[in-house]
Amino acid sequence: MSQVLKPSEVEGKFGKLFCRGVYVMVDEAEGRARIIEECSARGPVEWDAVNRKRAGGAITDIRVEGTTLVMDTIIGEKEVRFGPASKDLGGQGLKSLKVEGNLVKTTWVGLAGASVGIGACLPQGPGTIEAVYPDDAKVGGANRIEVTITTPKMIRAVFAVDDTDTKEKGASWVLMLKAAREAPVGHFLTHRIVQLNPDVKEKTTQCVAVSVSFAVKEEEFPALRRHFINYLKQGTYSQNTSLAVFRGLRIPEAVRDYGLRAKREVMKVEDARSVARKGGVELVEITGPRGAIGAMAGLGCHDLGIEAAGLPEDF
């Protein structure tokens, strides 16, 4: 037998814990997904990351970004292995991730103290719809638990822009950060300032592009796209603003390579349009075409972390 609990009921059963949100983005065509788990402190995130990496299961890559845990996974099921040290260390892992219509169901296994993270904390986080437990569910101590968490199916959307300012006024990084924070739908994930080749003659001051990413329900993506287009139209000071829009968990290699080239070469609008076609990227001309060069570069460098902010010689 099993019991189905809403997040508020999980909180009532185990007490209020520390998860600030859980968002699951999928790319069914590639058979992959990404789980974002936001916490109120870094310690639990680091500890969970090590435990889940050790357990293997459906997780293929795991990393810590501040107080956020980012997990790349397969869509499917794979055995969780805690290993011979589990009696002393405990453990937790992702057993499976399955897509059912507009929902995603993730099944987690936890042992001993590590069972608290997936059995009591994660299921009460914002973004969770419900969690299914065995009737005799207990966490902590020497207990083992298996819980299935239902969340909305989401996709990742990345928006990158360039050429919104002039030498006298405006700043693209500010405009995009405001646009992201004021978005009416979706969950704002990442804001990146991408340093490009400072030798470009048409630059304003620093020659940067800006990109942001969201977890968003597929049916809400059109509203998010309209929001960014309208926000840029109203906020830009330039006659050459362009926006690049991409949906997916993995930036195409051709787009990434273009972004890296734009840090050391002077690219052309035709280059940007060509790589956009190859990579399945939508280019939207907000006020003019030249911004496409930096917009595509900003998109290409979005997943580079701190390297996006510098030039090759900085690393």
Determine the Cα–Cα distance for residues 89 and 141; give it in Å rounded to an integer: 11
Domain termination residue (choose one: 137, 154, 171): 154
Judgement on whether residues 103 and 202 belong to the same structural domain of the protein: no
pLDDT at 128: 97
Tens of pLDDT, residue by residue over 120-155, are 899 999 999 999 988 776 766 567 788 999 999 999
In the chain, the number of structural domains is: 2
Judgement on whether residues 259 and 276 belong to the same structural domain of the protein: yes
Judgement on whether residues 112 and 10 belong to the same structural domain of the protein: yes
- CATH classification at residue 206: 3.30.70.2200
Which residues, given as ranges, of the chain have pLDDT below 70?
83-90, 112-114, 137, 139-142, 166, 168, 202-206
Full-model pTM: 0.92
pLDDT at 256: 98
117: Cα within 13 Å, side-chain hemisphere: 28
Judgement on whether residues 109 and 230 belong to the same structural domain of the protein: no
Exposure b/e, 255-294, CB count within 10 A at least 16 = b:
bbebbebbbeeebebebbbebbeebebebbebbebbbbbb
Domain termination residue (choose one: 97, 128, 154): 154
Domain termination residue (choose one: 154, 176, 195): 154
Q: Give the total residue count for the chain.
A: 315
**Structure token pair of residue 223:** 């509203």
Judgement on whether residues 281 and 181 belong to the same structural domain of the protein: yes
**Boundaries of domain holding 57:** 2-154
Judgement on whether residues 131 and 199 belong to the same structural domain of the protein: no
Judgement on whether residues 148 and 240 belong to the same structural domain of the protein: no
Task: Tell me if 247 sits within 8 A of 221, measured CB to CB.
Answer: yes
Judgement on whether residues 38 and 71 belong to the same structural domain of the protein: yes
pLDDT at 18: 94
Judgement on whether residues 140 and 173 belong to the same structural domain of the protein: no
pLDDT at 59: 97
pLDDT at 36: 98
Judgement on whether residues 168 and 306 belong to the same structural domain of the protein: yes
- 212 — phi, psi (to 5°)? -135, 155
Judgement on whether residues 131 and 236 belong to the same structural domain of the protein: no
pLDDT at 92: 87
Judgement on whether residues 105 and 196 belong to the same structural domain of the protein: no
pLDDT at 16: 93
